[in-house]
Structure 1
Amino acid sequence: MGISMAVAKAWVERWERQQQRYAVDREERFTVITDVVEHVTAGRPRPLLLDLGCGPGSLAARLAERLPDAEIVAADMDPLLLELGRTHHANAARYVDTVIGADGWTDALGLRRPLDAAVSTTALHYLPEPVLLDTYRRLAALLCPGGVLVNGDHFPPAERSCSGVTAHVGRRRAERTGGHAHEDWQAWWTAAARDPELADLVAERAQRRAARAGGAGGADLSADRHAELLRRAGFRHVAPVWQFGDSAVLVALKGD
């Protein structure tokens, strides 16, 4: 199921453009996440970072560029996106095939020491609330004292009457930056299925999704609700550090 470097490069670049439709100021959000990790891990030799729901390695690659001494483990359940990351961003991370929130998912990571930081972007919102709480608890256990969890995602406002306003702000920002003009999620996957080098991995992805069908869907939780769950999970300090529309970066620090 190998993918050539040229094909991987083309599809990862196409993925980057597609994702601009969904993550407001995506590049700035990546930068903010990396700023937090750089600050928290300053002075630590070879910090260990975990990228949750890594996709094709977009965030891992940016972290590796800024923090070349870091060891990065990147986890996802999508066979195609993982293979794109392993091929195009091979030196950025060690890629792990695991389903976040499933039984034994943290064992699959193969961690041999505590994490200094865990990061995620546009990945954890699909988890049902009980699974999300358990995931946060497991991450708190994996992190070293003073470690950090940084989550960049879509967080609807706690005041639902304001959701139309925040969504509008995000859409207008996407229009000004040109993100809305790129192909959407479904168009990217439809095109990928037609590429002979990707077809087998797309088929494997479909089989996995079918096997997992019927489970509870993710919760549409506000940043305040996430903060409450994080505190219940053992994180002492939780705060948003950046927001534009519904797109925000939430930081949770484990106590020393």
Structure 2
Amino acid sequence: MNPEIDWADWLRRWDAQQEGYVPEREARFTAMFDALAELLPASFVAVDLACGPGSISQRLLARFPGAQAIAVDIDPVMLAVGQGALGTVNGRLRWVQADLASRDWLKALGEPQVDAVLSTTALHWLEPTPLAHLYQDLGRLLRPGGLFLNSDAMTFDSSAPTLARLSQRVLDEQWTDTAFAARGIETAEQWWDALAGDPAFETLLAERTACFAGKHRQESPPGFDVHVAALHDGGFREVGTIWQVLASRVLLAVR
């Protein structure tokens, strides 16, 4: 870790701009952790899936002193920010670089079975087929009774066009550059531009470009019904929403 980089500040700025896109972000975290507190023992092992700089892991390990976490992401920049800001939390946090769209990411994880998997604002990157494969992998990774919690925007299907339109209108208003400027918050583009302006990140950014070569953000991510069907196909016996504001949801699946 480069000691000249203020890793904690980059993490703070990351959390601030993410909350600009998802004002209910902390409420999502609380809903996920409340479910863990109710359904798991005091000591458990959790995977922070598509972890970014470890926002879930940081909060989870603070709330659950007996827990351990494994933070997994493809992005070397995100992993470096997380490792630089959080370290290993006295050996309770392990960082792993892996591509969740590949079929061998579980080998990189190096853990035969865990109690919980959590993800936030990330799995919309995956197209339906790799998402279905990922849920099959999670069905093998989680012990019987284990929990998968995904907080993300999961759109309404064609049977609810009014709800879909309302949800999209709210997002369009929240996500404009004008809305961010009015709240004094960086956009994601501004955060990345600032990071790219720091020469200390040159090598990491080159690695990131190589990791994401050929990948793209899909225009229409899988909706709520696609997630539910894929989780059932992956071996989860119960799937449902435990928290929701329009399309912003926390989905709980029980293995």
Q: Same fold (TM over 0.5)?
A: yes
Within 5 A, what are the aligned runs for 1:47-66? 47-66=44-63
Distance (whole Å) between structure 2 residues aligned to residue 195 and residue 161 of structure 1: 45
Post-superposition offset of 1:179: 9.0
> Who is 1:250 aligned against?
251
Aligned-partner Cα distance in 1 for 2:30–2:103: 32
Partner of 2:143: 144
CA drift at 1:22? 1.9
CA–CA distance in 2 between the matches of 1:214 and 1:35? Answer: 34
Among 201, 204, 224, which residue is 2:204 paired with?
A: 201
Q: Percent identity?
A: 33
The residue aligned with 2:168 is 167
Matched with 1:220 is 221
Residue aligned with 2:237, SS: strand
Write the mapping of 1:18-57 to structure 2, written as runs, cut at 5 A.
18-43=17-42, 46-57=43-54
Q: TM-score, normalised by structure 1?
A: 0.88
Q: Tell me the residue number matched to 2:236.
A: 235
Q: CA deviation at 1:178?
A: 9.3
RMSD: 2.4
Q: 2:192 aligns with which of 189, 207, 221?
A: 189
1:117 match: 116
Paired residue total: 248
* Matched letter for residue 195 of structure 1: D
Cα distance per residue 1:93-125 (max 9 Å; x no partner): 2010000120310110010x4210000001111
Q: 1:78 to 1:202 in 2, by over 3 A?
A: same
CA distance, structure 2, for counterparts of residue 47 and residue 252 of structure 1: 17
Aligned to 2:86: 89
Q: Cα deviation per residue 1:62-104 (whole Å; 9 max; x = unaligned)?
A: 0000112111101000101101111111134201000012031
Is 2:180–2:187's contact at 8 Å kept on the other side of the alignment?
no
Q: Is the contact made by 2:128 and 2:226 (CA closer than 8 Å) also made in structure 1?
A: no
CA drift at 1:55? 0.5
Question: For 2:50 and 2:161, how far apart are their aligned partners in 1?
Answer: 27
Structure 1 residues 109 and 214, CA gap change in structure 2 (3 angstroms): closer
Residue 46 of structure 2 contacts residue 118 of structure 2 at CA under 8 Å; is this kept in 1? Answer: yes
Which stretch shows the higher mean deviation, 25-34 or 195-204?
195-204
Change (3 A) 1:216 1:169: closer
Gaps in structure 2 of 5+ consecutive residues: none
Letter in structure 2 aligned against 1:135: L
- Residue 105 of structure 1 is matched in structure 2 by 105
Q: Residue 20 of structure 1 aligns to a residue in which SS?
A: helix
* Offset, 1:174: 8.2
User: Structure 1: which amino acid aligns with 2:236?
Assistant: F
Query: In structure 1, which of residues 51, 59, 77 is the aligned counterpart of residue 74 of structure 2?
Result: 77
* SS of 1:235 mapped into structure 2: coil
Cα separation, partners in 2 of 1:5 and 1:239, compared to 1, 3 Å: farther
C-alpha spacing 1:223/1:62, structure 2 compared with 1 (3 Å)? same
Q: How far does residue 132 in structure 1 lie from its aligned partner after superposition?
A: 0.6
1:42: how far off? Answer: 2.4
Matches of 2:242 and 2:151, distance apart in 1: 10
- The superposition leaves residues 146-188 of structure 1 with CA deviations (integer Å, 9 ceiling, x where unpaired) of 0010000011112244322013345678899999641111111
Q: Say which SS state the counterpart of residue 56 (structure 1) adopts.
A: coil
Moved more, 243-252 or 15-24: 15-24
Structure 1 runs of 4+ aligned residues shifted over 3 Å read 168-181, 214-219
Structure-1 separation of matches of 2:180 and 2:219 = 29
Aligned to 2:38, the other structure's residue is in SS state: helix
